[in-house]
Amino acid sequence: PHQLINWNPVLIKNCSSNEIHKKCNLIFKKNKNINVIPIIKDDESIDFAYKSHELDKSKVSVVIMAGGFGTRLKDLTLNTPKPMLKIGGKPIIERIINNLTGCGYKKIYISVYYLKNIIMDYFKDGTDFDCNIEYIEEEEPLGTFGCLSLKEFDSEYIFVCNGDLYNKFEIEQLHGSILNKESDFVVATTSFSTAVPYGVIETQNNIIKNIKEKPTLNFSVAAGQYFFKNKLLKHLDKGKTDAPDFLNTLLGKNINISTFTLINNWIDIGIPDQLELANDSYED
């Protein structure tokens, strides 16, 4: 066993998102025999970065969810579908597509409903965006996963993402993660904190054991990105199905579902102040 352990592994520890990507690219370029790099965050959690060419991207269909009403953005989405709102002068969904194609994933489906012609007329068949685009046209809103029952996919894997996310997609890491963890389904997660404006009381049998004044609670939340094996769609019912519905169905069938903690900053532009933040922080 001693001989099987690498006591001096190449790894990256406690770096910012930009530093991680730069260091990974440099390591992969200099060390042809390294295909996976462990990423240590907060001295505890471990993720992995994978060399791009080790992944067969032709086996993946990407589905971008772009049919929502964007009601939280009010007047901004009266005449513009939410994914077409601009970040740094480009529609957010165009930035998503550029990110995906830049990683080599070029088989793209866009699920559309609200103001769908604006999206379809802009991207057409994807030729001008270096990819092949097909559309899943919903006759009624079907939720995050419901629209997948309207299409037959010939790929081994499916990557589903929301069309209102501003971040550098770590689709290659998710792809590699499903192979490394021998999982059937990988859910991308990010951290979310919320402050409780009151004193939180912990009790046992009506006896106070502890009081925390205005604590901040930290959660791991789904980040609107899902990478899974196509064969799992046989468990998908027709009709409206949101992500928690489908995941709970799979859990009930003892399907192996794992998580991958995103490294890059994650912004949901469906919230007005987050849209402003994305415009202030965008990078081409």
**pLDDT tens per residue, range 195-211:** 999 999 999 999 999 99
Spatial contact of 47 and 14, defined as CB atoms under 8 Å apart: no
Strands (E), the chain: 12-13, 36-41, 45-50, 60-65, 86-87, 90-91, 107-112, 132-137, 157-162, 165-166, 185-195, 199-204, 207-213, 216-229, 257-261, 267-268
Give the pLDDT mean for 137-164: 94
More confident residue, 191 or 48: 191
Q: What is the dihedral of CA 270, 19, 160, 97, to 10 degrees?
A: 80
pLDDT tens, 157-194?
999 999 988 877 789 889 988 887 778 999 999 888 89
Answer yes or no: is pLDDT of 119 > 60: yes
Range scoring the smallest mean pLDDT among 34-38, 100-104, 201-205 = 34-38
